[in-house]
């Protein structure tokens, strides 16, 4: 069996177009465009590329883009002062502080300073708490993108066996929360799990978010399972995922790297910015986003 390829790039393009339509509608009603501020500290080349592509996607969706590039030696106080200004700026609906931050800055201090209702990354503990308890909030982009791809394939996830590999605050934990909300039976496995393969073998859905190239092996995967590869590992062989390519011989469907989850992350960021803008303006949430 050869897995069907889940075309995240095409799905993301469709989502971005729908966000663009909704953004035009917002602009007509609110008299201003939705606005996204992206903050980059330092000059990490990969981060710089991401920030540029986020800025381009924002403009392409008919939204305002505010880019703040700060030198690598920017102090934590100066970064927090910028976050405060963005929190108070009515033209800014979404704030994204690109991670990782330089080591001398306490990530938590910065992320908890962002107004939860402008937190389009969904990393603020208030939004994590909302997600965990079923209150509408802003949901982390990568896991929400994964759920959109999964529901496209399996409109009803209820009762499915899902295994999430990894327990980070940015992917693993919110991914498990979203799958639980969809009534899947969710298991999170991690570096201390005794037998990862045994758990994966029982899964209808596998989400790999460990950051280890080719970690998930073909003989772990149940024939026909749907496998979502969140890994973005830069190696000498280029960009590779957390899933061994041989998994394609066993899985029913598989996201490629690149062209799978990555483009969804940016499309959902656009979606979250629009949702934040609508809530802030007291406009109804756009249907179907
Ligand atoms: N506050 C914050 N929020 C983030 O969402 C965030 C962040 N910090 N720091 C870095 C990670 C990484 N990230 C990606 C987004 C898009 C692709 C993407 O579009 N990837 C393309 C390929 C791009 C390439 O070739 O490098 C793909 O998978 O097809 C990848 C990675 C967002 N991140």
pLDDT of 241 above 80: yes
Residue 60 lies in a domain: yes
Measured from the CB, is residue 263 less than 6 Å from ligand 1? yes
- Convert the pLDDT of each residue in 108-162 to its tens digit: 999 999 999 999 999 999 999 999 999 999 999 999 999 999 999 999 999 999 9
Taking the CA of residue 46 as reference, the ligand 1 atom at the shortest distance is 26
Pick from 50, 139, 229 the residue to mutate for probing ligand 1's pocket: most ligand atoms within 8 Å of its CB. 50
Burial of 28 from C-beta contacts in 10 A (0-12 / 13-18 / 19+): exposed
Residue 41: closest CA among 99, 106, 112, 111:
99
Measured from the CB, is residue 229 less than 6 Å from ligand 1? no
Measured from the CB, is residue 265 less than 6 Å from ligand 1? yes
Give the pLDDT band of residue 1 (cuts 50, 70, 90): confident
Residue 287: the pLDDT is 87
pLDDT of 49 above 80: yes
Residue 9 lies in a domain: no
Give the pLDDT band of residue 42 (cuts 50, 70, 90): very high
CATH number at residue 95: 3.40.50.10860
Per-residue pLDDT, averaged over 20-44, amounts to 97
Q: Are residues 93 and 156 located together in one domain of the fold?
A: no
Q: Are residues 85 and 151 located together in one domain of the fold?
A: no
Measured from the CB, is residue 174 less than 6 Å from ligand 1? no
What domain range includes position 52?
A: 31-117
Residue 175 lies in a domain: yes
pLDDT of 87 above 80: yes
CATH number at residue 159: 3.40.50.720
Q: Which helix (H) or strand (E) holds 5?
A: strand 4-5
Give the pLDDT band of residue 72 (cuts 50, 70, 90): very high
φ/ψ (deg, to 5) at 233:
-110, 120
Q: Are residues 176 and 256 located together in one domain of the fold?
A: yes
Q: Are residues 158 and 55 located together in one domain of the fold?
A: no
Pick from 110, 235, 265, 273 the residue to mutate for probing ligand 1's pocket: most ligand atoms within 8 Å of its CB. 265
Residue 225 lies in a domain: yes
Measured from the CB, is residue 58 less than 6 Å from ligand 1? no
Give the pLDDT band of residue 95 (cuts 50, 70, 90): very high
Q: Which helix (H) or strand (E) holds 208?
A: strand 205-208
- Percent of the chain having pLDDT more than 90? 97
Measured from the CB, is residue 141 less than 6 Å from ligand 1? yes
Measured from the CB, is residue 239 less than 6 Å from ligand 1? yes
Residue 195 lies in a domain: yes
Per-residue pLDDT, averaged over 182-196, amounts to 98
Contact 267, 19 (CB under 8 A): yes
d(CA 26, CA 46) in angstroms, rounded, equals 32
Residue 288: the pLDDT is 87
DSSP for 240-277, please give it. Answer: E-SB-GGGGGT-SEE--SSSSHHHHHHHHHHHHHHHHH
Taking the CA of residue 8 as reference, the ligand 1 atom at the shortest distance is 29
Contact 26, 280 (CB under 8 A): no
CA distances from 275 to 113, 139, 144, 283 (A): 20, 11, 13, 9
d(CA 4, CA 254) in angstroms, rounded, equals 6
Q: Are residues 218 and 154 located together in one domain of the fold?
A: yes
φ/ψ (deg, to 5) at 277:
-65, -45
Annotated active-site positions, please? Answer: 54, 98, 121
- Convert the pLDDT of each residue in 245-276 to its tens digit: 999 999 999 999 999 999 999 999 999 999 99
Query: Which residues belong to the annotated binding site for NADP(+)?
Result: 166-168, 232
Which residues share a beta bridge with 264?
none
Residue 278 lies in a domain: no
pLDDT of 73 above 80: yes
Per-residue pLDDT, averaged over 13-23, amounts to 98
Distance 49 CA to ligand 1 centre (A): 9
Q: Are residues 216 and 149 located together in one domain of the fold?
A: yes
Residue 284: the pLDDT is 94
Q: Are residues 178 and 255 located together in one domain of the fold?
A: yes
Between these two residues, 229 and 286, which has the higher pLDDT value?
Answer: 229
Distance 28 CA to ligand 1 centre (A): 31
Domain count within the chain: 2
Residue 15 lies in a domain: no
Distance 267 CA to ligand 1 centre (A): 11
Across the chain, mean pLDDT equals 97
Distance 250 CA to ligand 1 centre (A): 27
């Amino acid at each position: 069996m050869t897995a069907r390829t889940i075309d995240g790039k095409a799905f993301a393009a469709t989502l971005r177009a729908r966000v663009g339509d909704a953004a035009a509608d917002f602009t007509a009603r609110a008299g201003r465009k939705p606005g996204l501020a992206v903050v980059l500290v330092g000059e990490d080349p990969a981060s710089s590329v991401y920030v540029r592509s986020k800025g381009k996607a924002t403009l392409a969706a008919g939204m305002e883009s505010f880019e703040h590039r700060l030198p690598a030696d920017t102090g934590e106080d100066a970064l927090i002062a910028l976050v405060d200004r963005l929190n108070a700026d009515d033209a800014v609906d979404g704030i994204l502080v690109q991670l990782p931050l330089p080591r001398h800055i306490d990530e938590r201090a910065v992320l908890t300073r962002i107004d939860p209702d402008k937190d389009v990354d969904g990393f603020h503990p208030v939004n994590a708490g909302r997600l965990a308890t079923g209150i509408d909030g802003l949901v982390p982009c990568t896991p929400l993108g994964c759920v959109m791809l999964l529901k496209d394939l399996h409109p009803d996830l209820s009762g499915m066996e899902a295994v999430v590999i990894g327990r980070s605050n940015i992917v693993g934990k919110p991914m498990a929360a979203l799958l639980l909300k969809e009534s899947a039976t969710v298991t999170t496995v991690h570096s201390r799990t005794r037998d990862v393969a045994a758990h994966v073998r029982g899964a209808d859905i596998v989400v790999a978010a460990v950051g280890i190239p080719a970690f998930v092996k073909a003989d772990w995967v149940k024939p026909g399972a749907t496998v979502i590869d969140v890994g973005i590992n830069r190696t000498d062989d280029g960009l590779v995922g957390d899933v061994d390519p041989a998994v394609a011989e066993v899985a029913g469907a598989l996201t490629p790297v690149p062209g799978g989850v990555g483009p969804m992350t940016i499309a959902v960021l656009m979606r979250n910015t629009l949702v934040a803008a609508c809530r802030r303006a007291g406009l109804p949430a756009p249907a179907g986003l």
